[in-house]
Structure 1
């Protein structure tokens, strides 16, 4: 029988236990909140139980697995167990435990138990290192989010850009999926490196030119679903942000398809005046980031439209 290993990571949060539990319970927001998490997809869901697939980075690699979570809002506890693990993990599960210290302070504990493929010491070491890195990142993220309180609602915002394409969805998908060709196809993309070692998981580094002539480098992980949806997370973001996730969706309609680019951004309040100037506010930063991202995504959408309609024509 494989040896079972156990770990515990914990932190104290200057926020009520209910606020901490709410962050843990809503797994759909984890890619926006926690650096290692790229995307979460619900496969099954009830009021107290959910089956999810998670894509996340571990020791610099992109991993995906399927887990079942049981939610206990009364006991303020969430238990999880991986149904399908990815090497070098043979099995893994654990518990999030939220304990009120007083009305405004909470002890948050994260327990893991795991077995490693073939019980190899190097696999155990790899898993422990990944758990240390990701658990600390998640605990820090939860603490910072919970302590922001109502301010979080102002820092996180979502918006869409949509175009109707009188063309085939397959051609639009080809344009969006073949991001390695964007430097040839899109005027604002100066350079792009795309790696796809695992089909459907793309790691992309892109240099984007702005109207003032400056170039911004971003790095993203993209997960490709079929031929109608691509989701992504930027793992290297501009200075005004702490997180940026998004998705491209292609929806059939009469005469063609509607193509939508969605962005969800978390702003970094400490960077607002440094980047935009003295006296600038979070509201100014929202407008600035919205305009910049919308300009680029709309440009991409218009070129995808022209590409798909030319092919149909």
Structure 2
């Protein structure tokens, strides 16, 4: 690959957060979908303590791009080197390194360098430079909230036990384009699937605090053989800043457990605007848990009814 490398792009930004915190954000790739706006989903394929291999899905240019990434993590020097190959063709790739340099107390310098292929398969020098600056800014912005991470981040799960075929539960969850006709909190929806298994969904819902319609846009990655639909909201109502998760099916001795996992990042500056001047982060956590939990539980209950009623009709 080194023979194909051409121009190198690199930039450094100051970050008002400890070097260890910034390195932790970069190292914890599984949390990128809720921390970094460009990432839809990240799966770790293997890790030996130093080198890891990832599958990544990112929003780019109005679409979704998948890639496989090899990363070498050096926690002592706070350097992460990476090589990334994009699907579907073998030619497009990116390579480079993140590095974090500690400064005075609670501050650091974050650098990202990226090599530009000679064939231009990942964009022009100007496009790659803009990409580098954008990634640095996204990491800086989220890392500088580190003191309130415990209050801003929340994860939770809801589930139901289904006495019916997993395929029918998955079918209901997959056909989100029909939810306006079947799910009470969904007023309108539009779902397109230009790439197999990659859905772009737009929904008007009334699952918020006031019951007023709120538009949500999402990317959904569908894995039917694994019984999973991973999602990342790309447009969310306040006080939510980011929302990602997955619908899953898990066979058990008693039937099929159908569940939904949510990972949420709250927008601290949006709490008062969305919930009122007296609202606190604790209020926002409680209400967002209630809103999203109610919506996913309603959809899961209908998926359960869809599967179990079909079984009853066949008997």
Question: Shorter-normalised TM-score: what interval?
Answer: over 0.9
Is the 1:85–1:91 contact (alpha carbons within 8 Å) kept by the matching residues of 2? no
For residues 91 and 48 of structure 2, the distance between their equivalents in structure 1, rounded to whole angstroms, comes to: 27
The alignment status of 1:149 with 2:149, answered yes or no, reads no
Is the 1:89–1:114 contact (alpha carbons within 8 Å) kept by the matching residues of 2? no
Offset, 1:133: 4.6
For residues 133 and 165 of structure 1, the distance between their equivalents in structure 2, rounded to whole angstroms, comes to: 48
* Superposed CA offset, 1:42-88 (max 9, x none): 11112111100100012222100001000001111000002455569
For residues 145 and 207 of structure 2, the distance between their equivalents in structure 1, rounded to whole angstroms, comes to: 32
Matched residue, 2:156 = 159
Unaligned runs of 5+ in 1: none
1:170 partner SS: helix
Offset, 1:270: 1.1
Matched residue, 2:182 = 185
Q: Note the 1:158-237 alignment, pairs <5 A.
A: 158-210=155-207, 212-227=210-225, 228-237=227-236
168-177 or 11-20, larger mean C-alpha shift: 11-20
Matched residue, 2:98 = 96
Change (3 A) 1:241 1:60: same
For residues 243 and 65 of structure 1, the distance between their equivalents in structure 2, rounded to whole angstroms, comes to: 22
Is the 2:169–2:303 contact (alpha carbons within 8 Å) kept by the matching residues of 1? yes
For residues 174 and 242 of structure 1, the distance between their equivalents in structure 2, rounded to whole angstroms, comes to: 29
Q: Note the 1:1-313 alignment, pairs <5 A.
A: 2=4, 4-85=6-87, 90-115=92-117, 119=119, 124-125=123-124, 128-129=126-127, 131-210=128-207, 212-227=210-225, 228-313=227-312
Unaligned runs of 5+ in 2: none
For residues 86 and 102 of structure 1, the distance between their equivalents in structure 2, rounded to whole angstroms, comes to: 44
Is the 2:93–2:122 contact (alpha carbons within 8 Å) kept by the matching residues of 1? no
For residues 78 and 300 of structure 1, the distance between their equivalents in structure 2, rounded to whole angstroms, comes to: 40
- The count of corresponding residues between Structure 1 and Structure 2 is 308
TM-score normalised according to structure 1 size: 0.92
* Superposed CA offset, 1:239-267 (max 9, x none): 21110011101000124200111111111
1:214 partner SS: coil
